[in-house]
Amino acid sequence: MTDKVPIRQLPTGVPGLDAVLGGGLPEFSFNLIAGAPGSGKTTLAQQIMFALAEPGRPALYFTVLGEPPVKMLRYQQQFAFFDASKVSDSIRFINVAEEVLKGGLSQILKRIVQEVEAASPSIVVVDSFRTAVRTAERRPAGPFEMEQFVQDLGIHLTGWQATTFLVGEYVTAENVENPIFTVADGLLWLYQSVDRNSVVRKMQVVKCRGQASIPGLHTFRITEGGIQVFPRVIVAAEEMPEPASSGVRPRPRPRVSTGIEPLDEMLGGGIPAGYSVLVAGPSGSGKTVLATEFLAEGTRRGEPGILAVFEKRPREYSEIVAKGKTLGRLVAEHQITVIQSRPLDLSIDETLHELTTAIRRHNARRLVIDSLSGFELALAPTFREDFRESLYRMVAALTGLGVTVMMTAELEDSYVDLRFSPHGTAFLTDAIIMQRYIELQGQLKRIIAVVKVRGSAHKKELRAFEITEDGIVVGEALGGYVGLLTGHPEVTKGAAPAAHGRSPRRRGR
Amino acid sequence: MPMPGSADLRKAIQRALRREAGSDADAKALAAAALRLYETLAGQLALLIGEAGVRALTARSLHLVQRDFPWLAEARDPGPSERPFAQVGLRLERQEPTVAREAAAATLATLGGLLATLIGDALTMRVLRAAWPSAFPNETQQEARNR
């Protein structure tokens, strides 16, 4: 038995917000929703109110000065959550402009208390609280009147078992001595982050008494449905790769076939399940084809896949043939789901939310992100700055779901250095497959190599491959040459160059 | 419940006026009934959009309804301490009962229509039904049954 008072957590009706708050909205809490004009404060307050209000325990929405109530009603009802049938029975809008203008803080408090005692509401919103205070402050007031008002309001509304939201236009770090910041149990700060031409909405739970909220800035989007929050993903300890020095021998993982038998051999028996694989190569080298075969092989084995497209349009993908079927057909058969990005203003967490939702809905075991370069471009500029850190969190979260993730990355062919990703992100992935162009005997050839498979032996050889109507056909190892990656290959002395190009060792099952 | 068209809304308000003032009411009784209907609606509306909002919509409605009833023009600008609809009552009292009934219904219907253009049919109908249950007896009963 525990003596602790149980705090009921109310579902806010705002997708993602309950998780950010640490499970929901603490019942009877006294909260401040703060932010600059246009940051979404009223929308957030109303969305929560419409979700929680019911006839027995209505919500009171006190409108003060600021946005005229008639305009607020006009615009807010455009959101799907605005249910006009709840107005008057479950939700009452009460305008207290007169009290603010004529009576000051004591008159506002008196009116709010009077209405609260009459209606016994479950939810109370004062919008905008800041305007009420600012207007009242212009009147002569005794010392600590403001402190007294906030204190009384908090005590009264909590005493009447109301969960309260004060909505206020506050700018970050402004006047931290304001008593409202001290009295409030919960403090939600909304921002509009501007970077070049892009605007990204972010939210922070500055405090949430009694429960552990997720720290950091969480992106959110306002659509016709209202606000949707994308909780910032924190990588759990078990999702982080085991440090090499830990001495813990990782358990062998089952292997996932790429659908290309020789490549599976090069990988030491396929990709370890739940690994992230980077396929790096220049434009046209066959990265998308390889990734599509990986997904198609999954469907052959009853493993649904997700294709997240940040490059070509899905229509172009639908014509790619893998395992004898076009990708379009696999999509039509619901074996592969294509997610197309909303370009240029994405956040990593929104992308991750979309991917994890699709993975769970389709019970997907394989995921392809094509490509990292396109993904980076689709992000709002503010997120490109810490792309590596964000990608690290995303990859860890996705592989933490047990999904095998294949990401493509475009690289310019270089014969003076050996790089595997333009972002310095190669170290984030568990395995790397490299594709390159080389010139051999006067012909342009594609070669493939496995650069790394974490915790596993793999072949180090370079093999030529071709893209045919049947897909990728991998040839023999290019023995007998040195300097293949330098652009100046030479035949090794005394060795006969191996056959390359189309080889008798074809993939195929 | 959908928002009735302008003509139907006028009929519904005339029904409420009859209920308030009686079928054979003179212009004075009709003016008093119209004022009561207005005050009830204004009370509901003030909760929603504030006193200032009610004043603004009332003034706009009177401006719009003047096209059909030009003699209402004088009622358009009440003094700051005056109730917005007080002058309307005085003007109605001077008309024939039939004209007074039509003008009162038209004025209140215009206010309802204006409200609907600003905050939508659904919300407007909730306010009108709450203020004037006698204007929408069937719907009000139906709603009570649904609860």
What pLDDT, in 10s, does the model give residues B135-146?
887 765 555 555
What letters, b where the CB count within 10 A reaches 16 and e where it falls short, cover B90-103?
ebbeebebeebbbb
Please give the Cα distance from B58 to A301 (Å, whole number).
Answer: 70
Cβ contact A73–B57 (<8 Å): no
CA-angle at A153, arms to A148 and A155, nearest 5°: 95
Chain A residues near any Cβ of chain B (below 8 Å): 63, 68-70, 73-74, 77, 84-85, 87-88, 92-95, 97-98
Residues of B with CB below 8 A from A92's CB? Answer: 47
Select the highest-mean-pLDDT range: A13-17, A306-310, A418-422.
A13-17
The CA-based dihedral angle spanning residues A296, A297, A300, A305, taken in that order and rounded to the nearest 10 degrees: -60
CA-angle at A353, arms to A362 and A405, nearest 5°: 60
* Number of neighbours of residue A321 by Cβ within 10 angstroms: 17
| Number of cross-chain residue pairs from A and B with Cβ atoms under 8 Å apart | 57
* A285: its two tokens: 């080298």
Cβ contact B53–A93 (<8 Å): no
Give the distance from residue A229's alpha carbon to the nearest chain B alpha carbon, in angstroms: 28
Give the distance from residue A225's alpha carbon to the nearest chain B alpha carbon, in angstroms: 18
Using CB atoms, which residue from A68, A77, A94 is nearest to B47?
A94
Q: pLDDT for A384-409, tens place per residue?
A: 778 888 888 889 999 999 999 999 99
Cβ atoms of A250 and A266 within 8 Å: the answer is: no
- Chain B residue with the nearest C-alpha to that of A100: B50
Using CB atoms, which residue from A84, A85, A95 is nearest to B49?
A95
A226: left (phi over 0), alpha (psi -120 to 50) or beta: left
- Chain B residue with the nearest C-alpha to that of A88: B126
Cβ contact A73–B49 (<8 Å): yes
Q: pLDDT for A8-35, tens place per residue?
A: 999 999 999 999 999 999 999 999 999 9
Cβ atoms of A171 and A17 within 8 Å: the answer is: no
Q: Is the pLDDT of residue A308 over 90?
A: yes
Q: Is the pLDDT of residue A68 over 90?
A: no
Q: What is the SS3 assignment for A450?
A: strand
Model confidence at A51, in pLDDT bands (50, 70, 90)? very high
Using CB atoms, which residue from B50, B119, B122 is nearest to A97?
B50
- C-alpha separations of A142 from A36, A145, A155, A450, B108 in Å: 29, 6, 20, 76, 46
B73 vs A453, higher pLDDT: A453
Name the H helices within B22-131.
Answer: 27-65, 86-93, 97-119, 121-131
Cβ atoms of A480 and A492 within 8 Å: the answer is: yes
Q: What is the SS3 assignment for A34?
A: strand
Cβ atoms of A412 and A264 within 8 Å: the answer is: no
Question: Which one of A95, A96, A111, A127 would you mutate to disrupt binding with B, by most B Cβ within 10 Å of its Cβ?
Answer: A95
- Chain A residue with the nearest C-alpha to that of B116: A74
Residues of B with CB below 8 A from A74's CB? Answer: 118-120
**Chain CA centroid to CA A224, Å:** 19
Cβ contact A88–B127 (<8 Å): yes
* A227: its two tokens: 């606000």
Amino acid identity for residue A339 in this structure:
I
* A168: its two tokens: 């206020």
Q: Return the DSSP state at B79.
A: -
Sign of CA dihedral A120, A121, A127, A133: positive
Question: pLDDT per position in chain B (147 positions), as tens?
Answer: 667 888 889 999 999 999 988 888 899 999 999 999 999 999 989 888 888 788 888 988 998 998 899 988 776 565 656 666 888 888 999 999 999 999 999 999 999 999 999 888 988 998 999 899 988 877 655 555 555
Residues of B with CB below 8 A from A70's CB? Answer: 48-49, 53, 57, 118-119
Cβ contact A88–B119 (<8 Å): no
Please give the Cα distance from A219 to A221 (Å, whole number).
Answer: 7
* Residues paired with residue A204 on neighbouring β-strands, in sequence order: A189
Give the distance from residue B53's alpha carbon to the nearest chain A alpha carbon, in angstroms: 7
A15 vs A495, higher pLDDT: A15
> What is the value of ipTM here, to two decimals?
0.74
Using CB atoms, which residue from B47, B53, B120 is nearest to A84?
B120
Q: pLDDT for A196-254, tens place per residue?
A: 777 889 999 999 998 999 998 999 999 999 999 999 887 665 555 555 455 555 567 89
Q: Return the DSSP state at A463.
A: E
The CA-based dihedral angle spanning residues A280, A282, A285, A291, taken in that order and rounded to the nearest 10 degrees: 30
Cβ contact B48–A77 (<8 Å): no
* Residues paired with residue A9 on neighbouring β-strands, in sequence order: A26
* Residues paired with residue A481 on neighbouring β-strands, in sequence order: A491
Give the distance from residue B120's alpha carbon to the nearest chain A alpha carbon, in angstroms: 7
Please give the Cα distance from A374 to A344 (Å, whole number).
Answer: 10
Instruction: Look at residue A176 in the predicted model and tell me its pLDDT.
Output: 63
Mean pLDDT, to the nearest integer, of A487-491?
Answer: 71
Mean pLDDT, to the nearest integer, of A350-379?
Answer: 90
Please give the Cα distance from A360 to A291 (Å, whole number).
Answer: 21
Residues with Cβ within 8 Å of A13's Cβ and at least 6 positions away in sequence, in order, are A47, A48, A50, A51, A52, A81
**Chain CA centroid to CA A468, Å:** 37
Cβ contact B49–A70 (<8 Å): yes
Q: Is the pLDDT of residue A305 over 60?
A: yes
- Chain B residue with the nearest C-alpha to that of A73: B119
Using CB atoms, which residue from B53, B120, B122 is nearest to A69?
B53
Question: Which one of B49, B61, B81, B132 would you mutate to disrupt binding with A, by most A Cβ within 10 Å of its Cβ?
Answer: B49
Reply yes or no: is the peptide bond before residue A371 cis, omega within 30 of 0. Answer: yes
Cβ contact A70–B51 (<8 Å): no
Q: pLDDT for A128-180, tens place per residue?
A: 787 777 766 666 665 567 778 888 888 888 888 899 999 988 876 566 667 78
Model confidence at A327, in pLDDT bands (50, 70, 90)? confident
Cβ contact B51–A94 (<8 Å): no
Please give the Cα distance from A158 to A394 (Å, whole number).
Answer: 40
- Chain A residue with the nearest C-alpha to that of B115: A70
Give the distance from residue A102's alpha carbon to the nearest chain B alpha carbon, in angstroms: 13
Q: Is A475 exposed, middle or buried (0-12, 13-18, 19+ CB in 10 A)?
A: buried
